[in-house]
Amino acid sequence: MKLKSLPYAVHPRPNPIAAALYTLRDINCRHIVLHGPPGCNFRALRLLERDRVKIFTTSMSDFDVVLGGKQKLLEVLDAVYSDFAPEIIGVVGTCCTTIIGEDLEAEVSEAKLPAKVVCANVSGCGDNTEGAIRILESAFKCGIIDSAELERQVRILRMASKVERERGVAIPGYIAPSEGDNCGEVAKEIVERLKEGLIVILNAKKETAYLYADIILAINSAKNRLGGDFAVIANLEDSKGLPKVREDARNIVMELKENGIKIDRFSGSLDEYAYSAEKALELSEEFGYSSAVILGIPQALNPKKFDYSVGVSSGERTMTRLRELGYKRAINEEGAHVSVLGKRRIVRSHLGNAIREVCESRG
């Protein structure tokens, strides 16, 4: 296929503007102004509203794109503060404001609001992580995060982009989408492998862990009902990361504990999935199991260390990549991110439900 030979990705990729928006949420910013056309990043904005974030737009017109939308931004910022008086307001510029060179920092300063305003111009070009980094740099200037956390965030975000370019769906050329394996069949295989011992590695990205952790609950149920053994390695440390990331980790660990599940080894935090992958593989050697179920961002791990491996992630192109990387089975938890927005407890997964059905059928 000729498309595969092109030196850049020709399939859709995540948007840096959306990454900036979600990063604002992670620093507990609950009022965000998108400075751009009203339709820009519509889906990301609507989904953020599920997560207790109030969203506003400056509704830039063709006229504003030519001459600048400063006046609209000042009006919207004044109205947002007047109506809600938030401690933090986020402002994300878009392709339009980037191209015409609007100086967001100067405009925000002119607004003279008695609030911390975290702002950045972000275009749709480049790695999505660059949008997050620009917001974090502004958060540092506002005193919301310290220099150590900023440095850490830049390091792990750029490593995440590197993993996607080398092992994920940001590789050059074209990745054809493909369906995941049948959940019911894979669930039966997992239950059988459980009898010999199983490694379960949670290497999830932020709040998606609320869904992938359900598979750990289901495997534990299978162990209790049908026998077997498994060990859990998870990137659920709660001592590092932005406020929401730490909160999500604490919530999940607590709920697993309530269900009688102890994390055998911690590999990192929920934002360190690019680094925690290698550590998880090293930790897995302590248990000597040859079968593994890897949840969240399995493309960051090398499955060839195991005789049997199941990669569980989201997206049809990711399924293609998991097979290319050597996973024996690939499970698509379609819509994983959408299903966890606004959640603070573990939510049911397709594979988890399939494992429970196997348990029911076998008594």
Q: Specify the pLDDT at position 64.
A: 85
Q: What is the pLDDT of residue 156?
A: 96
Does pLDDT of 1 surpass 80? no
Rounded CA separation 209/234 (Å): 10
363: pLDDT strictly greater than 80: no
**Per-residue pLDDT at 346 exceeds 90:** yes
User: What confidence category does residue 205 fall into, taking pLDDT thresholds of 50, 70 and 90?
Assistant: very high
Amino acid, single-letter form, for residue 196 = E
Mean pLDDT over residues 322-344, rounded? 94
- Which residues are paired to 269 by β-bridges? 237
Instruction: Note whether 31 and 89 are within 8 A (CB).
Output: yes
According to the model, what pLDDT value does residue 348 have? 97
Crossing angle (nearest 10°) for helices 183-194 and 209-226: 50
- The pLDDT of 199-224, averaged and rounded, is 97
pLDDT value of residue 14 = 85
**pLDDT value at residue 134:** 96
pLDDT at 121: 93
Read off the tokens for 34.
């998108």
pLDDT score for 66: 84
How distant, in Å, are the alpha carbons of 36, 80, 99, 107, 135 from that of 69?
Answer: 8, 17, 12, 10, 20
| In the predicted structure, residue 352 carries a pLDDT above the cut 90 | yes
106-129 tens-digit pLDDT: 999 999 999 999 999 998 888 899
Exposure pattern of 223-257 as b/e (b: 16+ CB <10 Å)?
beeeebebbbbbbbbbebbbebbbbbbebbbebbe
Q: What is the pLDDT of residues 229-257, one digit of tens each?
A: 999 999 999 999 999 999 999 999 999 99
Length of the chain equals 363
- Phi, psi (5° rounding) for residue 201? -110, 115
Beta strand pairing status for 230-234 and 265-266?
parallel
Asked if residue 237 lies in contact with residue 268, where contact means CB atoms within 8 angstroms, the answer is yes
133-187 pLDDT, tens digit per residue, is 999 999 999 999 999 999 999 999 999 999 999 999 999 999 999 999 999 999 9
Q: Which residue has the higher pLDDT, 219 or 127?
A: 219
Smallest CA-to-CA distance from 31 within 112, 78, 88 is with 88
Domains and CATH numbers, the chain: 16-145 (3.40.50.1980), 183-361 (3.40.50.720)
| Predicted local distance difference test score (pLDDT) of residue 13 | 84
For 137-150, letters b (16+ CB in 10 Å) and e give ebbbeeebbeeebb
pLDDT at position 154: 97
In this predicted structure, the answer to whether residue 42 has a pLDDT above a threshold of 90 is: no
pLDDT for 5-39, tens place per residue?
Answer: 888 888 888 899 999 999 999 999 999 999 999 88
Q: How does residue 3 score in pLDDT terms, banded at 50, 70 and 90?
A: confident
Position 68 confidence tier, pLDDT thresholds 50, 70, 90: confident
- Predicted pLDDT of residue 67: 81
Q: What is the DSSP string of 200-247?
A: EEEE--GGGHHHHHHHHHHHHHHHHHH---EEEEE--B-SSS-HHHHH
**CA proximity to 265, closest of 297, 216, 292, 231:** 231
Q: Which residues pair with 56 in a beta bridge?
A: 33
Backbone angles phi, psi at 279, to 5 degrees: -65, -40
